[in-house]
């Protein structure tokens, strides 16, 4: 996994370096103030355009990238990169505005009116506004208050913003030499997006013919959805992975959400276990048997391939038990090699309990329920508590899945307890 992370990071930085070289090859040195503003505007504009391409690539759902890097890490990179791209866009606009105002000897407001009269510049300004709207809805304080469907809908503006910016970039004189590179880069990312986000899902839907077979309650606000299909072995879906599911039913068909497999693929059957966290996931409880399903994937790197030690500790929080349950059943190991810690607020919140206990008994694996409110004085996932439950903790690989706050705190506790960071394997999603 570290090799894949390094390759993606190296390729991204290498591309940025190439953009800077292409810019430098076309710079005409000048000490005039307007020329300095214009030169800086060209560089920030090129880097912003390149940054948009990188953001789109990270979310193109290329299997080799998602499997090697991990979907949660890609999502974090996308969010962090988005903030930097917005800063570059605003910096580019401000520098270009100041350069024009100085060159023409006009005030800033007059410069704004004159620049927006150019179609390519007006399109770029509109694209920047769209990117700003995406950034605002993605801010943590706003994101918690915006329905997931609305957030995803606003995010579609990124494609329009990229198209508007592309026209502006080709119109710039600094791209006369490098237009072929810019067009090729946009074409490659566009092909990846269309292929993996449109063609592959349709092809899989036709091949596997997925339909809902059963919806059953597992606990307060939690249901399991059993889905039947054909040729499921071709999916190569491993325990610990997730797919993006689109249920072709009214009020559900327009959104695809990631849900982990809560059991190994078996006998033409897939199963996911879903907790009602938003409007979309609440509607899943009312799915009718026979509903068609489109599933894209599998994705995620929380699989047996990341294992490096004979002993494994699985830590799950809340509905994060779903991928852990599948791994608990399938990870190779003898008696005492596999241990599961399941954190929940109260006993009635435990999901798939009978299955977990049957697996633990059949495999002679460890199973511990860590119950209590998250704000209790005693933290069962503190370093001392972890080492009391698992005395040889530092000899384990640790797989971790739960809510963001719990995952971050548990990772920090594991590090303080002496578990090397490269042996802590986690994926975390907040919907």
Q: Do domains 2-202 and 304-426 have the same CATH topology?
A: no
Report the distance separating Cα 81 and Cα 264, nearest Å: 35
What is the β-pairing status of strands 338-344 and 366-371?
parallel
Most confident of 138-142, 232-236, 353-357: 353-357
b/e string for 295-324 if b means 16 or more Cβ within 10 A?
Answer: bbbbbbbbbeeebeeebbbbbbbbbbbbbb
Eight-class DSSP state of 101: H
**Cα-based distances in Å from 334 to 277, 316, 361:** 37, 21, 12
Name the residue with higher pLDDT: 60 or 279: 60
Task: Tell which CATH classification among 3.30.300.30, 3.40.50.80, 3.40.50.300, 3.40.120.10 matches the domain 304-426.
Answer: 3.40.50.80
Confidence of residue 421 (pLDDT cuts 50, 70, 90): confident
To the nearest whole number, what is the mean pLDDT of the chain? 82
The pTM assigned to this predicted structure is 0.73
- What was the pLDDT predicted at 431? 43
Q: What single DSSP character describes residue 248?
A: -
CB 383 within 8 Å of CB 416: yes
pLDDT of residue 12: 86
Is-contact 7 75, C-beta < 8 A? Answer: no
**Among 134-138, 147-151, 289-293, 310-314, the least confident range:** 147-151
Whether the bond between 298 and the residue before it is cis, its omega within 30 degrees of 0, is yes
The predicted-structure confidence for 361-389, as pLDDT tens digits, reads as follows: 988 988 999 888 766 667 888 888 888 88
Weakest mean pLDDT among 23-37, 189-203, 239-253, 273-287: 273-287
Average the pLDDT over each of 121-130, 144-153, 280-289, 346-355 and give the range with the smallest value.
144-153
- The token pair at 297 is 């994937």
Report the topology of domain 209-299: Elongation Factor Tu (Ef-tu); domain 3 (2.40.30)
pLDDT in tens, 72-122: 778 788 888 888 888 888 888 888 888 878 887 888 788 788 777 777 777
Is the pLDDT at 177 greater than 60? The verdict is no
The CATH topology of domain 2-202 is 1.20.120
* Pairing mode of beta strands 242-247, 293-299: antiparallel
Q: Which two tokens stand for residue 221?
A: 């606000």
Q: What pLDDT is recorded for position 327?
A: 92
pLDDT grade for 172, boundaries at 50, 70 and 90: low
Is the confidence at residue 256, as pLDDT, over 80?
Answer: no
* Domain definitions of the chain by residue range: 2-202, 209-299, 304-426
286 vs 169 pLDDT, higher one: 286
> Using one digit for the tens of pLDDT, what is the confidence trace for 26-66?
777 777 887 888 888 888 888 888 888 888 888 888 877 87
């Amino acid at each position: 996994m570290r090799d894949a992370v390094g390759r993606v990071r190296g390729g991204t930085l290498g591309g940025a370096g190439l953009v800077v070289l292409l810019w430098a090859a076309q710079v005409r040195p000048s000490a005039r103030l307007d020329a300095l503003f214009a030169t800086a505007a060209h560089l920030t504009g090129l880097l912003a355009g390149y940054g948009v391409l990188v953001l789109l690539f990270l979310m193109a759902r290329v299997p080799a990238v998602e499997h090697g890097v991990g979907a949660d890490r890609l999502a974090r990179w996308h969010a962090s990169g988005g903030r930097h791209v917005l800063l570059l866009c605003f910096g580019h606009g401000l520098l270009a505005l100041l350069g024009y105002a100085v060159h023409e000897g006009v005030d800033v407001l007059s410069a704004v009116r004159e620049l927006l009269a150019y179609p390519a510049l007006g399109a770029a300004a509109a694209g920047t506004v769209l990117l700003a709207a995406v950034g605002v809805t993605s801010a943590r304080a706003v994101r918690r208050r915006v329905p997931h469907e609305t957030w995803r809908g606003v995010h579609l503006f990124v494609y329009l913003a990229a198209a508007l910016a592309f026209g502006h970039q080709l119109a710039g004189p600094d791209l006369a030499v490098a237009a072929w590179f810019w067009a090729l880069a946009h074409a490659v990312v566009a092909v990846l997006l269309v292929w993996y986000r449109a063609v592959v899902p349709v092809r899989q839907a036709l091949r596997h013919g997925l339909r809902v077979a059963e919806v059953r309650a597992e606990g307060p606000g939690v249901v399991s959805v059993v889905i039947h299909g054909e040729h499921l072995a071709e999916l190569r879906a491993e325990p610990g992975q997730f797919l993006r599911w689109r249920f072709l039913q009214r009020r559900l068909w327009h959104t695809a959400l990631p849900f982990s497999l809560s059991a190994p693929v078996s006998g033409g059957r897939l199963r996911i276990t879903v907790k009602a966290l938003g409007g979309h996931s609440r509607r899943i409880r009312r799915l009718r048997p026979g509903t068609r399903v489109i599933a894209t994937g599998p994705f995620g790197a929380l699989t047996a391939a990341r294992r490096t030690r004979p002993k494994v500790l699985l830590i799950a929080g809340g509905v994060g038990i779903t991928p852990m349950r599948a791994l608990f059943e399938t990870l190779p190991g003898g008696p005492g090699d596999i241990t599961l810690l399941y954190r929940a607020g109260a006993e009635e919140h435990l999901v798939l309990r009978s299955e977990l206990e049957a697996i633990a008994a059949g495999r002679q694996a460890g199973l511990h329920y860590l119950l209590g409110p998250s704000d209790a004085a005693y933290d069962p996932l503190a370093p001392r508590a972890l080492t009391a439950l698992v005395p040889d903790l530092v000899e384990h690989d640790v797989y971790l899945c739960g809510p963001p706050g719990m995952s971050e705190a548990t990772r920090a506790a594991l590090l303080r307890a002496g578990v090397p960071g490269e042996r802590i394997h986690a994926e975390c999603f907040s919907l």
